[in-house]
Structure 1
Amino acid sequence: MHKLLAVYQFLGRLWIHKRLFYGLMGLLLTSGVSAQMRFSFHRGLMGTQFNLIVYAPDSVVAQQVNAAVSARMDSLNQIMSDYLDGSEINRLSATAGSGKWVPVSTDLFHVLQKAQTIARLSNGRFDPTIGPLSLLWRRAVRRKEFPSAKERRRARQAVGYRFIELDSLHRSVRLLKPGMRLDVGGIGQGFAVDEALKTVHALGVQATLLDIGGDILVGAAPPKSNGWRVEISSGKVNDQDTITILLHDAAITTSGDTYRFLEHKGRRYSHIMNPRSGLGLRHFVRATVLAPTGYQADALTKVFSVAGLRKSKKLLKRFPGVDVLMVENKNGRLHVWQSAGFQQLEISRLRKR
């Protein structure tokens, strides 16, 4: 009897120690999850500022993430930048009109696939073959000389997303018309942050914010938060009102001509170009797009800006999961419209002082 009692006492102590052990392990695991620290990194990239914010368990992990993201972004810049003479996209453009199928990298093929899809769904309001017109406008801004009608007409003849052929089986591209020049600047930054987020996740980090020139992509929410606080314009022109929204696992981008435009004979032309006319937009329009991915948010700001507020309401139906806030000033009249998603995300209006 005494031996049996001793056994029960031993088992009882073992059970208590076991509960204590698992309780302590649970506490340690919980502490490990919640003890995430915030790290920020900043650098110049793709002609603008790139910001990376991560929540990681220590500085070693954070530095590893930053190094991997920087390497990924640099490699994509070498592939997609039409500003770099030796970039892969410029080498591809040099084959235009030759009739040759050109094998390309996985990254270039994927960004061209996405660009062509958005071009088709937007009826050409976004066009990755806009390169000849982009060159004209860059020179115009640099020299402060408006391109002639003849120059614009010649450039437009080499523009058209239907002149790109993609072969998925052999991952090859053919540019059908001589003089074609690819320009994925309107989608490339968004595509780059999408790829960077994959890199972050592969290293086991979830709570992340990536921002390149205003193209923002966020992963999981920061610890003890429902989302990342992102401020955007409230919709009024030239004021300081902002809307603060909480985001996680989403992208948001704004395009407008507040700072980048060209003036000619008293008329203002936006840096956002209409591929059909070959001219920058001549009325004020600002589009903020919320989308599941960075490439969608980046490209669709141009689509909705070119389409204008009225047509954008119809176009939006072609892009599931996308929401837009638009401000348009035509003939002195200001119009503001936001889709249902923005109304649900808005949490406060803050006046900056």
Structure 2
Amino acid sequence: MIFISLVINTSAQVLRKRTTMLMGSRWQITIVAGDSLRAEQNIDTVIQEVSRIEYLISDWKPASQVSQVNSNAGIKPVKVDPEVFALTARAIQLSESTGGAFDISFAAMDRIWKFDGSMDTMPSAELIRKSVEKVGYKNIILDSANSTVFLKLKGMKIGFGALGEGYAADQCREMMLKKGIRAGIVNGSGDISSWGTQPDGKPWTIGITDPMNNDKLIATLPLRESSVVTSGSYEKFVMFNGKRYSHIINPVTGYPVTGLTSVTIVGPSTETANGFSTSMMVLGKDAALSFIKRYPEYRYILITEGGQFISSPELKIRKKNQ
């Protein structure tokens, strides 16, 4: 989906990179510092911070606060840390602004669509309708005075998923900047938070791959202190009656999205970019373009199923030969 181009030279700054598993996904952490020891120590600090956040918001760790909220759905409100409360509030705000195209209560959806090659028939309309019965951000009740989260319906669940990864990447960037680390990248399963430049002063560079050919690069984009996230429907999908159904599901209808193959968002926040890219996949081209233009600090690259490439004019994209 995305690659990071790194140039290492013999400048005074040292670059160190490590890949590890966090939040159930592959993370790549790159730190530029004055010496190798400091770089490695700060990579350790990033890993510790991501692990801390994971234990707060994971919906599959029974002891996490989010798991406690889910297990008390329809029973009682659960007091959570201000950090978890604020993240939940922002997710609900995103749900409202997208008309439900984004919804953290999607975690309760029945997994009736399979994208592992085992599906040979399309689910019935009734089964699809029932699959989203417990999904609905309007049934999440927040009490700011008591810092509680309450899910009104039995069986409801919330889950931050990639949004949580984006949040963790943002937190790590801010932590490193406060510690005086002038450059680096925190890449949480494709949710990229970057700052500063490479040791030779050149900007970090991302490559946008062709959704129909992962070995082909269609554009490159330089980054400076920004986040980039791509959502795509080209890796997991099923075909029924000649129609392509992607693994990204509309939380309102229960049907897979169609129309867009990938959405890349570039902007100041990895968390927000993640929410925008997912929402825009659900909204489709026209509604997505109308939505993102309300947020001028965020740039976009859309690729349609027909191969159309649409991008913000402000992005300094270097397109490759098609």
What is the TM-score with the length of structure 2 in the denominator? 0.87
- Cα–Cα, structure 1 residues 184 and 148, in superposed 2: closer, same or farther, change >3 Å? farther
**Alpha-carbon RMSD:** 2.4
Map Cα deviations across residues 95-143 of structure 1 (whole Å, 9 max, x no partner). Answer: 1112x2211123322221221111111111101111122x5157x3469
Alignment of 1:230-309 (within 5 A): 230-233=206-209, 237-238=212-213, 240-263=216-239, 267-309=243-285
Deviation at 1:147, TM superposition (A): 5.0
Larger proportion of helix: 1
Please tell me whether residue 38 in structure 1 is matched to residue 15 in structure 2: yes
Residue correspondences, number: 309
Q: 2: CA distance between counterparts of 1:194 and 1:327?
A: 26
Shift of 1:144: 2.8
Alignment of 1:311-326 (within 5 A): 311-326=287-302
- The residue aligned with 1:337 is 310
Aligned to 2:28: 51
Show structure 1 runs of 5+ residues with no match. 1-33
Distance in 2 (alpha carbons) for counterparts of 1:63 and 1:186: 26
What is aligned with 2:8? none
Tell me the residue number matched to 2:41: 64
Query: Which residue of 1 is the match for residue 168 of structure 2?
Result: 192
Instruction: Specify the alignment match of 1:30 in structure 2.
Output: none
Does the 8 Å contact 2:73/2:157 carry over to 1? yes
| Residue range with higher mean Cα deviation, 255-264 or 209-218 | 255-264
| 2:65 matches 1:88 | yes
Contact 1:104 1:173 in 2 (8 A): yes
Is the contact made by 1:309 and 1:337 (CA closer than 8 Å) also made in structure 2? no
Query: Which residue matches 1:20?
Result: none
Query: Partners in 1 of 2:211 and 2:45 — Cα distance?
Result: 39
Are 2:27 and 2:189, in contact at CA under 8 Å, matched by a contact in 1?
A: yes
Shift of 1:284: 4.8
Q: 1:162-184: CA deviations, max 9, x gaps?
A: 11122223221121222211121
Q: Distance in 2 between matches of 1:101 and 1:83?
A: 19
For 1:136, which of 94, 97, 111 is the aligned residue?
111
Structure 2 residue aligned with 1:16: none
1:173 to 120, 137, 149: 149
- Answering whether residue 300 of structure 2 is matched by residue 327 of structure 1, we say no
- 3-state DSSP of counterpart to 1:165: strand
Alignment deviations for residues 228-248 of structure 1 (CA, whole Å, 9 cap, x no partner): 111113x67436133222111
User: CA 1:228–1:95 in structure 2 vs 1: closer, same or farther (change >3 Å)?
Assistant: same
Once the 2 structures are TM-superposed, how far is the Cα of residue 149 of structure 1 from its aligned partner?
A: 4.1
* Aligned counterpart in structure 2 of residue 77 of structure 1, from 54, 69, 75: 54
| Contact 1:221-1:248 within 8 A present in 2 as well | yes
Distance 1:212 1:257, change over 3 A: same
Q: In the alignment, what sits opposite 1:4?
A: none
Identity of matched residues, %:
25
Task: Mark the runs of 5 or more structure 2 residues left unpaired by the alignment.
Answer: 1-10
Which residue of structure 2 lines up, in the alignment, with residue 349 of structure 1? 319
d(CA) in 1 for partners of 2:168 and 2:321?
32
SS in 1 for 2:30: strand
Aligned mates of 1:203, 1:82 — CA distance in 2? 30
**Could you tell me which amino acid in structure 2 is paired with residue 231 of structure 1?**
G
Q: Distance in 1 between matches of 2:191 and 2:153?
A: 32
Residues 221 and 258 (structure 1 numbering): CA distance in 2 closer, same or farther, change over 3 Å?
Answer: same
Structure with max Cα Rg = 1
How far does residue 151 in structure 1 lie from its aligned partner after superposition?
Answer: 4.1
